[in-house]
Chain A
């Protein structure tokens, strides 16, 4: 009788636990807020830009928006074309970080791997690469694209992935794409490429 009760308790317990889902663990860094913000603001932005660029030349860097926040901004054609920020919060063993990437008009994050841009500045999805940018900053090392999770490491499978790849190839020949141009290579760049090939 006693063993039956234990068995019933185990069954009920298992059923109850199936509804539970463990929350993804938030990583803690053993620093104070000021140190974390300092490290983030000294991230390898140039390495990140080099590893993830398409064919548009753009300025990219970070600044401390406030004591807890670092914001990265990408500017092309004298306007902000992408921003994201990391908010540092105190935690029991140090600090935790929260990354925010703005949404596009379609309600999804910018450069989330599903967006379409005529001339993207970075290969998608960008969030895993930003995660590596943050991690490298916290470890005070250079950005390493090889550490970006595999799905977002090399191939841009977004609707503008082909455009990114095409622009990057033209940039490798020395001719940058204009962020505001319609899709495809500009007439000017085609002429320059043809002249170079002659």
Chain B
């Protein structure tokens, strides 16, 4: 086995390990040994982690729906809701159970976004894990740790690979087309002399 093949196999194994869950990933259901009211209070104080929601953090609208549900509606530049994140709190034998979810918006784009989220579970997982990690950090009085969401981040990267390749292909095709047209224009200058 050549060194390149060996390296390729190693990379494949590492990717599979990450994909299959061997690595750090923030769970979306967690139990905290504190009362629901206190958990709710702390949840309502968090900001969405900018490192993941860079395009949305300043445009996220937050409200508490009731004593069980906290909602963040992420908006585009036009102020239209694109999707929403929720944190549900419930009393548990050991304290409070917090469950996060990512949902389509409550508008005409609902079905479209739902389809997009269903078709891209890695992205939904990353957003949910990032929110769960931010809540966990707040409830444990520590900083948000990117290492704790490394697994969903790796999954997003792996899922995006075909799109990146497709993007690269289309850029190459566009460049080739542009070069062809440029060459034709140049040759035409000689023909028209």
Contact = CB atoms under 8 A, between A and B. Distances in A.
B193 A57 contact: yes
Interface string B174-192: 0000000011011101100
Interface residues of B, number: 8
A174 B183 CA distance: 12
Interface string B56-98: 0000000000000000000000000000000000000000000
A138 interface: no
B179 to A, nearest CB: 10
Interface in A159-186: 171-172, 174, 176
Interface of B: 182-183, 185-187, 189-190, 193
A7 interface: no
15 contacts: A46-B187, A50-B183, A50-B186, A50-B187, A53-B186, A57-B189, A57-B190, A57-B193, A171-B186, A171-B189, A172-B182, A172-B185, A174-B185, A174-B189, A176-B189
Q: Which 7 A-B pairs have the closest CB atoms?
A: A50-B186, A50-B183, A57-B189, A57-B190, A57-B193, A176-B189, A174-B189
B108 to A, nearest CB: 44
A50 B190 CA distance: 11
A53 to B, nearest CB: 7
Nearest to A59: B190
A1 B57 CA distance: 82
Nearest to A174: B189
A43 to B, nearest CB: 17
Nearest to A175: B189
A171 B182 CA distance: 11
Given A57-B189, A172-B182, 13 more contacts: A46-B187, A50-B183, A50-B186, A50-B187, A53-B186, A57-B190, A57-B193, A171-B186, A171-B189, A172-B185, A174-B185, A174-B189, A176-B189
